[in-house]
Amino acid sequence: MNKRYSVDHAAMRDMNLTLILNTLHAKAPLSRAALAHITGLNKATVSSIVKDLLTNGLIRETGTNGTPVEVGRPAINLEPDPTAGYFIGVEIGVGFISIITVNFAIEIISHRYESTFTYYSQEKIIERLLFLLTESKQQVIKMQRPIFGIGIGVPGLVDIANGTLLFAPNLGWQDVPLRSLVETALNIPVYLANEANLAALGESVFGAGQGCKNMLYVSSGMGLGGGVILNGRLVEGATGFAGEVGHMLVERNGRRCNCGSHGCWETVAGQQALFRRVEEAITSGQSSWISSQIEADFNKLSIPLIVEAALKEDTVATNALQATAEWIGIGMASLMNVINPQRVILGGPMSAAHKQLLPIIRQTVTANSWHWVQDKVKIVPAAHGQDAAVMGGVAIVYRDVLNNPRKWLH
């Protein structure tokens, strides 16, 4: 056997491993014969790869109807072993840390959400993050199972190659080598990405974008971010900054944005723009049910409060939501003409108002994008709501395990 042939043979075996593991994750329980039929691989290849996956504990045998195998059953099914290992998804947000631990069958084992408003400094927040992650790690270690990796989403620009958070305007953080900080402290592989990009991946793999190869995700909250999935892959761009849709210029000489520029989409379509519209209307003397709830303290404004007011047909809330939805729609229409997605997903805290926003967004998109781009597209709320980014943290590790299972085989 020459060297070239052996390399190709190993590469072929890795491709088949990936194919079988992906098929089991998508369609289990399946028998060996069904696996051969679906993948088009011959039975001997399937048997040999299944043996490898079983020996390494990534999959398990079950009975014909998903129950544990019993002696004398005719056909044995296979499925991913939920306890094969665990994924940890993390979001460091403005004022919170969210951590989710998920097993190999993508069942949630634990979910912790903590406010970080009391930890004023970057140092204290990272210290707390490491403490919470160590607790999550201990929980898995008790079960004597591995952690495949930790996927961390942050609200800013990320240098993916170096795992550094370059700039997070809404956190006030700059040049933080988060990947190495967490890897050194926990000794687990870490994947760092922009939170909206991760949320797009989370919705694509586990949520409202499942089955769509081309998808646009727009996350509206404290900032306005997004992620683009093209041909099933997250678009990272040349240096990893793709998807920063919130800083598209939509108004020449517009308001100053947190990024330092003026007239960004975020300044008219983000949560702060919605709050500003409510505040301006009330300050200018318009009467609103909201006034009775916040006692002139506009820091008490929240999306749920504005939604509640809109349900009471409060004009201030309705008008503010209308104007914000129109601006979201204008930006989406432009992006749809560029990307031609099958699905557009609205996520982030603002998705809590999707019942009020989406009808107006759809109207605005219809009026402002090409009809042949709109014809096949559905605009829908995120399936994982505020958990889209942590699910994306899980998805980035999960994708790596399923696409490179060799790394986890002995």
Judged by the rule CB under 5 A, the positions of this chain that interact with Zn ion are 247, 257, 259, 261, 264
405: Cβ contacts below 8 Å, ≥ 6 apart: 14, 17, 18, 21, 53, 58
Longest CA pairwise span in the chain (Å): 85
C-alpha distances in Å from residue 305, one per residue of 95, 318, 321, 353, 404: 19, 12, 12, 10, 46
Instruction: Decide whether 256 or 378 has the Cβ nearer to Zn ion.
Output: 256
Q: Are 243 and 226 in contact (CB under 8 A)?
A: yes
Closest separation in Å from C-beta 246 to Zn ion: 6
Closest separation in Å from C-beta 109 to Zn ion: 38
Instruction: Decide whether 170 or 286 has the Cβ nearer to Zn ion.
Output: 170
Closest separation in Å from C-beta 257 to Zn ion: 3
Cα separation, 324 vs 278, in Å, equals 11
Cα separation, 336 vs 350, in Å, equals 20
Instruction: Tell me which residue of 392, 342, 318, 333 sits closest to 365, measured CA to CA.
Output: 333
Instruction: Decide whether 86 or 327 has the Cβ nearer to Zn ion.
Output: 327
Closest separation in Å from C-beta 34 to Zn ion: 51
Cα separation, 387 vs 153, in Å, equals 11
Pairing type for strands 86-93 and 96-103 reads antiparallel
Closest separation in Å from C-beta 308 to Zn ion: 30
Closest separation in Å from C-beta 187 to Zn ion: 37
Provide the residue type at 62 as one letter: T
Instruction: Decide whether 119 or 167 has the Cβ nearer to Zn ion.
Output: 167
Instruction: Decide whether 198 or 259 has the Cβ nearer to Zn ion.
Output: 259
Cα separation, 102 vs 100, in Å, equals 6
Instruction: Decide whether 67 or 261 has the Cβ nearer to Zn ion.
Output: 261
Closest separation in Å from C-beta 369 to Zn ion: 23
Pairing type for strands 224-230 and 215-220 reads antiparallel
Instruction: Decide whether 263 or 393 has the Cβ nearer to Zn ion.
Output: 263
